[in-house]
């Protein structure tokens, strides 16, 4: 599985799952654009890890929910590097709360970043991919989009929405040899889970048949497969990376 000569863009690539994806794709030979919004130090650390793995990368700052910023930034990437071959829509935010108390702004901001952001970025890269007749768009969903989660109606709706977006885009772009897929992580070890008490972590593990939390590298491996030539006959699909927590079709 090599990505030599490919240009990849990973939104929200500065930490967590996005960082692991960025490092993995770079280690396979891609030049990776690490997108971030507010934390340049974290993006720099991702670049350092990319270089330590023998890869190449660059930082690109824009908010995926800002249509003008997305267009301009991706236009600049294509001007500088000639192409975006692989887009990983990983950027996401949470604004948790019960439905009865959720403010409109909390709904809108999550849908704008987590769902509309994937639409805007996909739309911005597809013309160049169509011209080249090769491309990979991989949307990072969540198990929450399939099973729901109290206090996360906005997040679950956005992540579920990515499934419909993925299937529809896959149908539209398949004729140009562009695949569009989802990867849906379950409970993954991140800064957030590190802050949970041991009892809460054990309760999470009890919901998972494999009995352990996943790692960002587990998710990155699934993305790497779909981005490579080995995944070329897979499109419109959701690959669940959750230790058996959800076994949907």
Distances (CA, A) of 126 to 136, 137, 161, 189: 9, 9, 19, 32
pTM of the model: 0.96
Q: What is the pLDDT of residue 248?
A: 80
Chunked mean pLDDT (size 10), the chain, 249 residues: 96 97 98 97 98 96 98 97 97 96 97 98 97 98 95 97 98 98 95 81 93 97 98 98 91
Residues in the chain: 249
Instruction: Look up residue 110 and give its two tokens.
Output: 């999550």
- 36 annotated active-site: no
Q: What is the pLDDT of residue 196?
A: 81
Whole-number Å distance between alpha carbons of 141 and 234: 17
Instruction: Look up residue 58 and give its two tokens.
Output: 């660059």
Which of the following is catalytic: 36, 155, 187, 233? 155
Q: What is the pLDDT of residue 65?
A: 98
Nearest to 145, CA basis, from 242, 63, 227, 234: 242
- For CA atoms 42, 27, 229, 225, the dihedral sign is negative
Q: What is the pLDDT of residue 190?
A: 84
3-state secondary structure the chain: CCCCCCEEEECCCCCHHHHHHHHHHHHCCCEEEEEECCCHHHHHHHHHHHHHCCCEEEEEECCCCCHHHHHHHHHHHHHHHCCCCEEEECCCCCCCECHHHCCHHHHHHHHHHHHHHHHHHHHHHHHHHHHHCCEEEEEECCCHHHHCCCCEHHHHHHHHHHHHHHHHHHHHHHHHCEEEEEEEECCECCHHHHCCCHHHHHHHHHCCCCCCCECHHHHHHHHHHHHCHHHCCCCCCEEEECCCCCCCC
CA angle centred on 125, ends 181 and 12, rounded to 5°? 70
Q: What is the pLDDT of residue 249?
A: 66
Determine how many CB atoms are found less than 10 A away from the CB of residue 85: 23
Residue 103 φ then ψ, to 5°: -80, 155
């Amino acid at each position: 599985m090599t990505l030599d000569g490919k240009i990849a863009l990973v939104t929200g690539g500065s930490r967590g799952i996005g960082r692991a994806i960025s490092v993995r794709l770079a280690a396979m030979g891609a030049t990776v654009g690490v997108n971030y919004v507010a934390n340049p130090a974290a993006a720099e650390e991702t670049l350092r890890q990319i270089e330590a793995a023998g890869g190449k990368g660059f930082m690109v700052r824009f908010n995926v929910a800002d249509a003008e910023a997305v267009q301009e930034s991706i236009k600049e990437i294509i001007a500088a590097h000639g192409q975006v071959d692989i887009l990983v829509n990983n950027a996401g935010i949470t604004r948790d709360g019960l439905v009865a108390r959720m403010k409109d702004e909390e709904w809108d901001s999550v849908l704008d970043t987590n769902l509309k952001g994937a639409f805007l970025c996909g739309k911005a890269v597809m013309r160049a991919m169509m011209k080249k007749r090769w491309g990979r768009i991989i949307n990072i969903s969540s198990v929450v989009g399939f099973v729901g989660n109290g206090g996360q109606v906005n997040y679950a709706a956005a992540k579920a929405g990515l499934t419909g977006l993925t299937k529809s885009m896959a149908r539209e772009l398949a004729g140009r040899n562009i695949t569009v897929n989802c990867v849906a992580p379950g409970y993954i070890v991140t800064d957030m889970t590190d802050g949970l008490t041991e009892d809460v972590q054990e309760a999470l593990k009890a919901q998972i048949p494999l009995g352990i939390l996943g790692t960002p590298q587990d998710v990155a491996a699934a993305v790497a497969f779909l981005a490579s030539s080995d995944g070329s006959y897979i499109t419109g699909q959701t690959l669940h990376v959750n230790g058996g927590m959800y076994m949907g079709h």
